[in-house]
Amino acid sequence: MGTKMNALTFSKFGGPEVMEYIRVNKPVPGDGEILVETKAIGLNYADIYRRKGNYHLKGEPPYIPGYEAAGIIVESKSERFKIGERVAFADVPFANAEYVIVPEEHVIPLPDPISFEIAASLLLQGLTAHYLSNDSFKIKKNDWVLVHAASGGVGQILCQIAKSKQARVIGLTRSSEKLATILDSGADRAILLDENWKNRVFEITGPKGVDVTYDSVGATLMDSFEVTKETGTVVFYGMSGGDPEKVDPRMLMDTSKTLTGGDLWGYLKNSEQRISRSKTLFDMIVKGSLKLKEPVKFRLSEGRQAHEYLESGKSSSKVLLIP
């Protein structure tokens, strides 16, 4: 055996400078597993959290981060998938490498019109937006939908899915430069998250407020309740702005509001879920009802620069690592 491959790794926690592109052992698939030669790898904020040491990790150093990629099967110990097939995955560790072992349960086959780059740009954030809009709260025609961080990866896709369901969408951002990105995603209105944003929401919706608020900021949770109508729902699925305040169940009872939490891993429980949810997204891409901004690409060997770029917050496109 003893064959090697290149991987983007880190052995201590810290800034982008801890990322190292090194030779490691090439993995060997076991029963029910395939080996994928990666062609495009999605970089996500979770990879930054792992690098900083405040997110769960598998294995021993050198750690190989990454969970999302697309490529070609080069070895198969699975009866379901054959060598040469184009596939992707959204929830398999050690993805920042030239080769990744993927259990057959986690394999998502790629239809011909879906490129490796589209798949690696779409899956993690797209599957998140899919469960948020179908499971956490089922968006209906004419619903008022408020999306925090609407210029982010999940936010852009969530706005487009909501519009495909004929909802009315308001997108929030902290950056005036990103208002245009939100409108490009089909949102009816884009507003700044400033001291006046709640008043702006009511100016748009009328005194009742929105049917559902998607809050990935955390620190804004109580504000989200304020702009959500009686019998409305707040979906809490991230805390990019810090931990939320504690919620009093009496408030929920008195206002007939619903608080629900969401985490993608709760919805990707089996192969059927992964494949059917992904197929819905692929179909939307093919039909043109879901569009992704052109990704920003770095070589896998430029992992440091890619981390710096994602962390700078400048981009409104997916960042991809190309082996």
Inside any domain, residue 13: yes
Inside any domain, residue 83: yes
Inside any domain, residue 63: yes
| In a shared domain, residues 104 and 157 | no
| In a shared domain, residues 204 and 168 | yes
Q: Does pLDDT of 51 surpass 90?
A: yes
- What CATH number is attached to the domain comprising 71? 3.90.180.10
List the domain range (segments joined by +) for residue 20.
4-110+293-322
Inside any domain, residue 277: no
User: What are the tens digits of pLDDT across the range 285-297?
Assistant: 999 999 999 999 9
| Residues 242-253, mean pLDDT to the nearest whole number | 95
Q: What is the pTM of this model?
A: 0.95
Question: Residue 159: which pLDDT band, with cuts at 50, 70 and 90?
Answer: very high
Inside any domain, residue 280: no
Question: Residue 2: which pLDDT band, with cuts at 50, 70 and 90?
Answer: low
| In a shared domain, residues 160 and 256 | yes
Inside any domain, residue 270: no
| In a shared domain, residues 134 and 258 | yes
CA distance linking residue 224 with residue 217, whole number of Å: 10
Question: Residue 313: which pLDDT band, with cuts at 50, 70 and 90?
Answer: confident
Q: β-strand 20-25 against 296-299: which pairing, if any?
A: unpaired
| Residues 212-240, mean pLDDT to the nearest whole number | 96
- What CATH number is attached to the domain comprising 225? 3.40.50.720
Q: Does pLDDT of 1 surpass 70?
A: no
CA distance linking residue 291 with residue 286, whole number of Å: 9
Long-range residue pairs from 246-254, CB within 8 A, at least 24 positions apart, any chain: 247/221, 247/222, 251/225
Task: Quickly count: other Cβ atoms within 10 Å of residue 68's Cβ.
Answer: 28
| Residues 88-97, mean pLDDT to the nearest whole number | 97
The residue out of 246, 264, 282 marking a domain boundary is 264
| Residues 246-254, mean pLDDT to the nearest whole number | 97
| In a shared domain, residues 134 and 106 | no
Q: What is the mean pLDDT of the chain?
A: 95
| In a shared domain, residues 147 and 203 | yes
Inside any domain, residue 54: yes
The residue out of 243, 264, 285 marking a domain boundary is 264
**Residue 53: predicted pLDDT:** 87
| Residues 150-168, mean pLDDT to the nearest whole number | 97
Inside any domain, residue 278: no
**Residue 241: predicted pLDDT:** 87
Task: Quickly count: other Cβ atoms within 10 Å of residue 130's Cβ.
Answer: 22
Count of residues in the chain? 323
**Residue 271: predicted pLDDT:** 96
**Residue 7: predicted pLDDT:** 98
| Residues 139-148, mean pLDDT to the nearest whole number | 98
Domain count, the chain: 2
